[in-house]
Amino acid sequence: MTFHLAHALAEQGYRTLLINLDPQCNLTIYGMDQDALHDIWKAEDAFVDDFKSAQQKLTADDFNNLIGQTRSVHFLLKPVEDGVDDLPSLPPPHRLANNLDLIPGRLTMHLYEDAVARRWSEVYQGDPLAVRTVTRPRELAIAYAKQFGYDLVIMDTSPSLLAERPSTLAISRTL
């Protein structure tokens, strides 16, 4: 449904961004060439294991080249999951169609969901990392909308995350 809704909105002229937060990655798998997706994931493997360590192994230019290309949503969220600084800039989304782009999912997103679950109770205590972990997907949606001029951002979340957190952002109209 998310895939078809986004395409319909894009055909109506709305600049639309899809963010695939579901670890099943169906939205990404339906929308992207498998070889291109494999290349994205392969370049990120070390970062998903330990973001800071992987970043330190690259020169600044190599890291900037890496984030100058489409990255998965887990790569974008991994600095928060690991409790390190955010990315210095937003990698470009993957173009699916006219007016329609995608931040690809990654099968490892269950690790981020686990971090959300572990830190959830700490949000109410005002723990900065917990708050950052829970709010970062929405912050990314807003940042991408502003930088790339999207009218709508649609987040495809896992069913388990929506069931536990009914306030999860599903569709956001940017102003």
Question: What SS3 string covers 19-65?
Answer: EECCCCCHHHHHHCCHHHHHHHHHHHHHHHHCHHHHHHCCCHHHHHH
Q: For residue 171, is pLDDT > 80?
A: no
pLDDT tier, 59 (very low <50, low <70, confident <90, very high otherwise):
very high
DSSP structural state of residue 125: T
pLDDT score, position 163: 43
What CATH number does the domain located at 2-173 have? 3.40.50.300
Domain boundaries, the chain: 2-173
Residues 61-84 have a mean pLDDT of: 97
- What is residue 99's predicted lDDT score, i.e. its pLDDT? 98
Residue 158 clears pLDDT 70, i.e. is over it = yes
Per-residue pLDDT for 101 more than 50?
yes
pLDDT at 157 exceeding the cut of 80? yes
